Structure 1
Amino acid sequence: MISQLLKFGVVGVIGFLVDAGMLYMLLWSSMGYLSGRCVSFLVAATTTWLINRRFTFTAGKHRSLPMEWLSYLLAMSAGGLVNFAAYQAVMSSFRYTAILPLCAVATGSIAGMIVNFVVAKWWVFRHPKKADLQH
């Protein structure tokens, strides 16, 4: 489990870079910081799903890809709510500077990571029970 948590953390860093990079691109194109964050979060969540299913939780591939992706997005919504709450708290608590969105994304990512790991491990990528495989 420690190995999976470390891999999940590495994938989380990649997700953070995708999230922050996409957010800055969207902010640069005049999208608002909340709507931009919704889009960047979805892109980052899809990226981390692809990497986690191949790198972190390889034994849990037992659903169709669309169902697993939807399960992952639903599961990540718990951590995503924590993530967005922390992001919004930072964005609304400090004077806007060019680095503020990056700090806010980092704060949100850290806040949501543990919730996301537990949900991913025990729901999205869980090993099916033998009885489940027989049906």
Structure 2
Amino acid sequence: MIFQVKKFNELATSELYDILQLRSEVFVVEQDCVYQDLDGKDQKALHVIGSKEGKIIAYTRLFDGGQYFDTPSIGRVVVDANERKYGYGHDLIKASIKAIYDAYENRTITISAQTYLIKFYSSHGFVITGEEYLEDGIPHIRMIKQP
């Protein structure tokens, strides 16, 4: 898989379409969650795009501290359902952490993790920092990774 990190204005129209389609396939259809994905924050984010054979199969968006949480953050973590068995989620998180370290001064990272993924994020050095809460009807927990 090949990773690219782009600002919003660097995304081609076809890339943006493919990203939004992937997010919709997973978050709206697969997870049966009706929510406002187009939240006006994509324009402020860095976009980590994972492609395989020319197709976008993995994606995250990153924010500097103060834009979403007090520290830099990773969100909209998504891997195409047909590609998850290859461990690309781990590659995606590693690429996202590296992109934050390259782009932002503060190296503490905050995420709002779906609770069923605690073990996954823990394997990348994230630790739970609060109580479980509902976000768009799905149980989440705040996790932080220290540098």
Question: What's the TM-score, normalizing by structure 1?
Answer: 0.29
Question: What's the TM-score, normalizing by structure 2?
Answer: 0.27
Compare the two structures and name the one with the higher strand fraction.
2
Larger relative CO (CA 8 A, sep 6+): 1 or 2?
1
Instruction: Indicate the structure (1 or 2) with the bigger Cα radius of gyration.
Output: 1
